[in-house]
Amino acid sequence: MRFRNKFWVVLFFLLLSACYTFKASSIDPSLKTFTVTAFDEQAANVQPGLGVSISEALRDRILRETRLNSVPENGDIVFEGEIVDYSITPISPQSGETTSREQLSITVNVRYLDQKNPARSWEQSFSAQENYDATKNFSEVENQLLESIKTQLVDAIFRKSFENW
């Protein structure tokens, strides 16, 4: 009896995994290449090179998780964008108008241009935030915050571009 129950549980999970994939990339078969241009840095106080860093991270993610090939220009899909907000905001006021926590927020505006089927093109803003201890010197935590925010932004852009939910 015990063996039979385990058999059905295993069979159920095998059938479930055959019907559902966790990496749900969905790309039109006619699309073969993509281009990611360096995102412009339009926001005030943005760390120099952040636009290039986000663009490269997006390009690397697409190369790693899709069958598309990267080309320097005129890809079947083109990603363009700009960093439009880079701000630090207090989030936990304390008595005496000081804060214990602050939040770094970054917003990028992205254009996804499908050269083969322009009707599938879109433009959208993506934002990500990270909180940090306001008693720390921002320059000491900035790179760590930027890596986390960059990962969040690239995840959101990738999901919007290639995954059917």
C-alpha angle 54/23/155, rounded to 5°? Answer: 20
Report how many domains make up the chain.
Answer: 1
Residue 72 belongs to a domain with what CATH number?
3.30.160.150
Would 1 be classed as within a structural domain?
no
- Asked if pLDDT for residue 129 goes beyond 90, the answer is yes
Would 37 be classed as within a structural domain?
yes
- Considering 2-16, 27-41, 89-103, the range whose residues carry the highest mean pLDDT is 27-41
In the block, which residue shows the tokens 């919007």?
160
Q: What is the pLDDT of residue 165?
A: 40
The b/e string for 60-96 (b: 16+ C-beta within 10 A; e otherwise) is ebbeeebebeeeeeebbbbbbbbbbebeeeeeeeeee
Would 146 be classed as within a structural domain?
yes
Contact predicate 79/111, CB 8 Å: yes
Would 18 be classed as within a structural domain?
no
Contact predicate 78/43, CB 8 Å: no
pLDDT in tens, 136-151: 889 899 999 999 999 9
pLDDT in tens, 57-96: 999 999 999 999 999 999 999 999 999 999 999 886 666 6
Output the CA–CA distances (angstroms, integers) from residue 19 to 14, 15, 95, in the order listed. 9, 6, 55
Rounded mean pLDDT of the chain?
Answer: 86
Q: Once rounded to an integer, what is the mean pLDDT over residues 102-127?
A: 96
Q: Which structural domain, as residue segments, surrounds residue 141?
A: 26-162
Would 75 be classed as within a structural domain?
yes
Would 3 be classed as within a structural domain?
no
- Asked if pLDDT for residue 159 goes beyond 50, the answer is yes
pLDDT in tens, 97-108: 566 889 999 999
Would 9 be classed as within a structural domain?
no
Would 6 be classed as within a structural domain?
no
State the burial class of residue 58 (Cβ atoms within 10 Å of its Cβ: 0-12, 13-18, 19+): buried
- Asked if pLDDT for residue 15 goes beyond 70, the answer is no
